[in-house]
Amino acid sequence: MTEPTIPTSVFTPQPTPAVDPADRLRESLRESDASTPIGEQAAAAVRIRSGSEVFPTPQERRVITVANQKGGVGKTTSTVNLAVALALHGATVLVIDLDPQGNASTALGVPHHAGVADVYQVLVDSVPIAEVVQQADGVPRLRVVPATIDLAGAEIELVSLVARESRLQRAIDAYCSGPGADVDYVLVDCPPSLGLLTVNAMVATTEVLIPIQCEYYALEGLGQLLRTIDMVKAHLNPKLAVSTIVLTMYDSRTRLADQVADEVREHFGDVVLATMIPRSVRVSEAPGYGQSVVTYDPGSRGAMAYVDAAREIAVRGAAPAPLPVDAT
């Protein structure tokens, strides 16, 4: 008895249509659960890169000094990443690098080698900011006034100049009333000292943003900084006040970090941002590539924290309550 013949085509596998790997990736991202950590990071990276979210703009231009005479607390890192986060979400931002080390200039990808026109010429030679300002690399609405090594001698040279404490103020006012009239935020990155450069920044601004590292030693010099702010307010700039404190290098694994955060919040209240910047390898890596962490790895914890902090700052500036708040 012969067995029935079954058509070979029943068992022959049919060829699989070719699928573009990019299409497969997009489909997997659509099907992935955004509630997972990887999904949240991917969604945050897409959101930051696309610029789909626009932060509220301030009612009037905000000029902010980022200062703390203690080194290593995240002044430059906070200045750079907050500036980039604000610029990527609809604001026009000017960063003035007032630190002779020029780290903010490096992180924003602008040349600041010897011979480059910089903030030293603005302070000492009264060169207009419009002649030294540069466009930040990869961030269209972000401009930078770089610092070179020449700035290291500026404090000595400023001593003999007329109105030495207000030279930066006049330069900012002239720029913002002319070619920089569209600027929403001016962020001044100060050196880790309380000399003439920092005093120039405080005279030129109405707000002080203080980064505080979540370590015990970070609190020791805070009193001296607040006394300097009070002195500048009493004699040179009555509008100056502490508007924002951001807690940096927060490590949730240590009890000390929580204790420092609680002490700062208890003393300063609502001036302290709710967002804390965590310790992050990506934040440390980004300057080596001439980028902020917000552009280097927008899905990382550090980048998302800085975007959240920038959002808080923007919302506060758009609120009807007057800023800055005097926290001293």
**Whole-angstrom distance, CA of residue 244 vs CA of residue 79:** 12
Structure confidence at residue 322 (pLDDT): 45
CB contact at 8 A, 304 and 311: no
Q: ∠242-274-313 over CA atoms, to 5°?
A: 55
Is residue 242 a contact partner of residue 99, using CB atoms and an 8 Å limit?
A: no
Looking at residue 326, its pLDDT comes to 55
- In angstroms, rounded to a whole number, what is the distance separating the alpha carbons of residues 210 and 74? 9
Question: What's the confidence (pLDDT) of residue 10?
Answer: 47
- β-pairing verdict for 241-250 and 272-278: parallel
pLDDT of residue 163: 85
Sorted by where each begins, the domain ranges of the chain are 56-318
What are the residue ranges in the chain where pLDDT is below 50?
A: 6, 9-11, 322-323, 325, 327-328
Q: What's residue 172's pLDDT?
A: 97
- Three-class HEC string of the chain: CCCCCCCHHHCCCCCCCCCCHHHHHHHHHHHCCCCCHHHHHHHHHHHHHHCCCCCCCCCCCEEEEECCCCCCCCHHHHHHHHHHHHHHCCCCEEEEECCCCCHHHHHCCCCCCCCCCCHHHHHHCCCCHHHCCEECCCCCCEEEECCCHHHHHHHHHHCCCCCHHHHHHHHHHHHHCCCCCCCCEEEEECCCCCCHHHHHHHHHCCEEEEEEECCHHHHCCHHHHHHHHHHHHHHCCCCCEEEEEEEEEECCCCHHHHHHHHHHHHHHHHHEEEEEEECCHHHHHHHHHCCCHHHHCCCCHHHHHHHHHHHHHHHHHHCCCCCCCCCC
- The token pair at 291 is 């980028």
| Alpha-carbon torsion, ordered 294, 300, 302, 307, to 10 deg | 50
Query: Which two structure tokens, joined as six digits, stand for 238?
Result: 């009555």
- Residue-level pLDDT at 24: 60
How far lies 120's CA from each of 75, 78, 127, 155, 203, in Å? 20, 22, 9, 10, 17
The pLDDT score that the predictor gives to residue 220 is: 78
At residue 11, the pLDDT reads 47
Tell me how far apart the alpha carbons of residues 307 and 255 are, in angstroms, rounded to a whole number: 25
pTM (2 d.p.): 0.83
Q: What is the per-residue pLDDT across 98-113, written as a single tens digit (0 to 9) for each?
A: 999 999 999 999 989 8
The topology under which CATH files domain 56-318 is: Rossmann fold (3.40.50)
**Residue among 156, 92, 166, 83 at smallest CA distance from 122:** 166
